[in-house]
Structure 1
Amino acid sequence: MVDLKAKPFNLNSEQISWVHNTLESLSEEEKIGQLFINLTVQRDKETLSKLVNEYHIGGVRWQGGTLEEVYEQNKYFQENSKVPVLIAANTEAGGNGAVSEGTLVASGAACGASKSDETVRDMAAVGAEEAKAVGCNWVFAPVCDVVSNWRNTIVNTRAFGNDPKLVAERSLVYMKENMKRGIACAAKHFPGDGSEERDQHLVMGCNDLSVEEWDESFGYVYKTLIDEGLASIMVGHICQPAYSKKFIPGIKDGEIKPATLSPELLQNLLRDQLGFNGLIVTDASHMVGLTASMSRKDYIPGVIAAGCDMILFFNDPKEDIGYVKEGLESGVISKERFEDALLRILGLKAILGLNELKFPGKEGLKTVGCDAHHELAAKAADESITLVKDTQGVLPVNPADKKKLRLYFIESAPVSMANGADKAKANLIKELEAAGFNVTAPKDYYEYEMEGPSPFNKFKVMSHESREKFKKNTDLVLFVINMKGYAQTNNVRLCYDASHSSQNPWFVGEVPTIAISLNYTNHLIDVPMMKTFINAYADSKEYLHALVEKIVGKSEFKGTANDLVWCGRWDTKL
């Protein structure tokens, strides 16, 4: 059973009394509700009332909504819940992970590229302050995965890098900045993403490291955070066969389950070996890494029985609550395990002072997206943007000498053509023109389709001008990649807008070309012919401005790259 006096709870007698008195005051249905974190997308009073009065949710995360709508939603939850709720946000890169008006400061990859801990400290501080302004008390971060596989795009930009010591150091800085501001962290994604290329949204993840390799990487990171008082851990739908086989000799391959359903990983490894006493929350319960394991009727009570304390997201609230109730009645979830989970949930709420809740005043909303936070974002951009290579010696570029610039902007297919063109393209053009370039930016297939759908649009992006005319009208090419992907494919690679598109880099042999990634760090695998390559980490205005400043030599490149950028190839280094 949980020790509420021990780390990370460190509760005093008054707080412990509140935990036990609260637990005793709850009905069975109210207790079951505490296990669930709702994904809130509707904010009408009827929906919110049902969540707190019928389903008795223990926590909330949300999608969408304006700054004021999110504030009012969270205020409603806290003022109308019998037990104050845990309010979580994904502030992995700053306050933009809490609300759309929030400030993107730096991704994990940008923080890892920066030579200074100040970048992650600023990112964490801004994220915490902006999240707290809308009532958040819990963040699903840091991403303390160790990326050892260059093909992994799930945490490529979200993790701090491939060095366990660096990951532990930056994760610890992140955690302490949040703790200072009264926000608890849920480090993720135990037992660790980054060693394979598949996405647990689509398939069970598999951390295939040996026991010894795991201890030296993920084990080192988690132990560092646990020893410093990590309050909670998010468990991924990721198996760790080496440890499952260590703790269960003779276990068959077909019996290996994701960590969310594996007592040997949650109890033997995480609780006993690593000494974690805090709260365990699942990753999203609709992800295929979990759903493929068994029926929802079995895995909803199964994750609690295995050692998870909270479940991230309902499918159907009444049905999911019924599944837990059946699990309690059948003995799948023991009374001891149920009470242990509830004590940890209430214990975390006590850590955060929810026993004496005071919801933040509305005046705090002015901190969200404020000028001071955007200044920190600009500083982070300056510290992190990385020149991976420049073997042709084209940098810095003087716009007076190479004034005629051709911009090829390679983007992911938009979710909907109604969303319009990628705003980063227009913002980059403004920055380049302000720096003194004359910019020609051909439309891509998606832009033509937005103007008017036609089967002939693909042919428009296949046309080429004569090479001599091109060279006469072009001094420099910027080849900008802004690929994005989430829960749709297991590996995001560079994808042109059409087959035989004029975006294909035919121009590298004609004029000097600079390739830039605004997101993933592993695109050299698809464009090894590029002799100059920059990882810029984000497409926000601060990062685009800093990028152009560095291209023209007004600012030096300060970021560093690890060996994963070469993608295990010799030709990417040329």
Structure 2
Amino acid sequence: MTFDPARAPFHLDPEAADWVRATLAGMNRRQKLAQLLNVLVRTDDDAELARLQELGLGSITRNPTRDPEGEAEIRAAFDAAAPAPLLVSADLEGSRMTQPGGTTLPNPLGLAAIDDLAATEAATAILARDGRANGVNWSFTPLLDVNAAFRSAIVGTRSFGSDPDRVRRHALQQIATFQSNGVAATAKHWPSEGYDDRDQHLVTTVNPLSVEAWEATFGRLYRDAIAAGVLGVMVGHIAFPAFVRAEGDEAGAFLPATISRHLIQTLLRERLGFEGLIVSDATSMGGLGQVMPRRDFLHRLLTAGNDVILFSPDPAQDIAWLEEAVEDGRLGMDRVEDAVSRQLALKARLGLHRGPLPPLPRDSEADAATARELHARVPTLVKDRDGLFPVSPASHRRVLIVTGGIVFPFVQDPIPFALPEMMRARGFEVTLHEKGTPFRPADHDLVLYLMGEESLLTRGHIHVDWWRMLGDFGAAMVRPWHDVPTAMISFGHPYYLYDAARMPAYVNAYATSEAMQQAVLDAITGVTPFTGTSPVDPFCGREDTRL
């Protein structure tokens, strides 16, 4: 079936549809191929920026580094050099993925702990406005993955939890709110993640469900997102062997969906009826690179059905390789033009054919007040066996904090927690345990283990590394709660009880931001109540973790 921009999800009027066709007709082959690449633009060097701009790219992902006016000039230069307006993409997820100059908000798992669609709507509207202030018009959210494998470091806090119904509610709310604020939403990671505890950044992961079980969970989620008008779908480096085998292709059973025509064209396009824009996940990831060299998989991304190739590390080389594939017949121009047409349709759907989108009005004070209210509703009291909370300087003045700091994949060294200083400001005497020094919990009135690992890219797995945290073989085996009140607080990964069974008090807060640390301090000291409800099973399906 020929692509028609007047149909769902774009619903373009005749003027906009004519613009799509006329713009496509005005491009030469190289310009069309350049439109298919999304480049992660990290550089601030003017010469390097100019080299990228002159390629005429269709979309970029950029974390702003200059002042707003300087960033607007960079985007304008990309626009001026290209035959079509620029899509600017980002992962609008909250927490440490907050846009520069934006308001810090709970991440998806934190919003799921609130489990109030009005809260998700309010948070998503702020995310959209903050993105628009930086030129973002395309978000790689929401996730339709589920927390089925508790060891998964990559799904974790980026998902809305383990209950498909809760995931559905909040994902559909995000889609509606993003798109009503002029930001195209993207459901990911097709055909969906959650049952493999490995990371697509490192290895092709596997969705092990039968076709029937997939239809009852992920199939339903994607069908509902498509019915709700989601404009984009991101395809993950995830194999779905049950479906591919049902199509009679044993050899392709464990290929990542990104290069599987069965999973994109047959399942997503034909059976689910999605006619929007399809973008691959990042093409530098090990889940794709382990299968074949970039030169070999590049054209296969397009022939499988992707319309945008995410994160080209060398776009000039990629364009040359795609031209080779066209020349020797591995890639047909009809597929290229179909992909470019869908991208142009998205741009017209956003109104970019009429000119750059202006920033949306923002009220920083009101947004900050909303963020404080939302953060206060996130902390989840999972376990308090001995009735420890609330604590105060009067009852637990001397506090020993044990932590490895906040781990963030884009910085090399752990980030220190702000919570110790926050506690000192409230009258607590706080001591930070130094790795490798004698561990003397009995000298204190309270021991707090602070964990700071949100979903991590390329981490593999998240667990309590007692030896690394304490720096001593003997100290790693000490469990102080028989002598001193003890609690573990997770600002991220919600499953540490698996490694800390019988921890008498345990709190999940899902995000490492300073705003969340403040909210947790208010909760553990009784300033605010614990109201979060767990969107996952923090006990990991075990009985011993409940003791």
TM-score by length of 1: 0.89
| 2:374 is equivalent to residue 373 of structure 1 | no
Alignment partners' CA distance in 2, 1:87 and 1:156: 26
Aligned partner of 1:566 among 531, 536, 539: 539
1:179-208 Cα offsets, whole Å, 9 max, x none, are 111110111111111111010110001111
Is the Cα–Cα contact under 8 Å of residues 483 and 494 in structure 1 kept in the other structure? no
Q: How do 1:83-98 and structure 2 match up within 5 A?
A: 83-93=84-94, 97=97
Q: How do 1:529-548 and structure 2 match up within 5 A?
A: 529-548=502-521
1:425-479 Cα offsets, whole Å, 9 max, x none, are xx212221233322222234xxxxxxxxxxxxxxxx24244xxxx53x3211111
| Cα separation, partners in 2 of 1:416 and 1:43, compared to 1, 3 Å | closer
Aligned partner of 2:416 among 409, 423, 427: 423
The answer for the alignment partner of 1:433 in structure 2 is 424
Aligned partner of 1:463 among 438, 457, 460: 438
| Cα separation, partners in 2 of 1:392 and 1:67, compared to 1, 3 Å | farther
| Cα separation, partners in 2 of 1:129 and 1:503, compared to 1, 3 Å | farther
| Cα separation, partners in 2 of 1:331 and 1:489, compared to 1, 3 Å | same
1:304 aligned counterpart, secondary structure: helix
Q: Letter of the 2:459 partner, please give it.
A: T
Q: Letter of the 1:52 partner, please give it.
A: Q
Is the Cα–Cα contact under 8 Å of residues 455 and 492 in structure 2 kept in the other structure? no
The answer for the alignment partner of 1:358 in structure 2 is 356
Aligned partner of 1:442 among 414, 427, 433: 433
| Cα separation, partners in 2 of 1:38 and 1:162, compared to 1, 3 Å | same
Q: Letter of the 1:31 partner, please give it.
A: K
Q: Letter of the 1:463 partner, please give it.
A: P
Alignment partners' CA distance in 2, 1:148 and 1:41: 34
1:479 aligned counterpart, secondary structure: strand
Alignment partners' CA distance in 2, 1:484 and 1:165: 23
1:481 aligned counterpart, secondary structure: strand
The answer for the alignment partner of 1:56 in structure 2 is 56
CA shift, 1:245, in A, is: 1.3
Is the Cα–Cα contact under 8 Å of residues 462 and 502 in structure 1 kept in the other structure? no
The answer for the alignment partner of 2:6 in structure 1 is 5
2:157 aligned counterpart, secondary structure: coil
CA shift, 1:562, in A, is: 4.2
Q: Letter of the 1:553 partner, please give it.
A: G
CA shift, 1:229, in A, is: 0.6
The aligned length equals 542
1:395 aligned counterpart, secondary structure: coil
Is the Cα–Cα contact under 8 Å of residues 105 and 374 in structure 1 kept in the other structure? no
Aligned partner of 2:254 among 247, 253, 256: 256
Alignment partners' CA distance in 1, 2:65 and 2:474: 38
Is the Cα–Cα contact under 8 Å of residues 146 and 217 in structure 1 kept in the other structure? no
Q: Letter of the 2:19 partner, please give it.
A: W
| Cα separation, partners in 2 of 1:76 and 1:56, compared to 1, 3 Å | closer
1:6 aligned counterpart, secondary structure: coil
TM-score by length of 2: 0.94
1:327 aligned counterpart, secondary structure: helix
Alignment partners' CA distance in 2, 1:315 and 1:414: 22
Alignment partners' CA distance in 2, 1:119 and 1:93: 13
Alignment partners' CA distance in 2, 1:417 and 1:60: 22
Alignment partners' CA distance in 1, 2:433 and 2:146: 39
Deviates more, 1:98-107 or 1:499-508: 499-508
Is the Cα–Cα contact under 8 Å of residues 178 and 185 in structure 2 kept in the other structure? yes
Query: Tell me, which stretches of 5 or more residues in structure 1 are unaligned?
Result: 445-460
Is the Cα–Cα contact under 8 Å of residues 490 and 510 in structure 2 kept in the other structure? yes
Q: How do 1:142-221 and structure 2 match up within 5 A?
A: 142-221=142-221
The answer for the alignment partner of 2:317 in structure 1 is 319
| Cα separation, partners in 2 of 1:354 and 1:225, compared to 1, 3 Å | same
CA shift, 1:501, in A, is: 6.7
| 2:125 is equivalent to residue 125 of structure 1 | yes
Alignment partners' CA distance in 2, 1:485 and 1:224: 26
The answer for the alignment partner of 1:30 in structure 2 is 31
The answer for the alignment partner of 1:289 in structure 2 is 287
Alignment partners' CA distance in 1, 2:128 and 2:370: 14
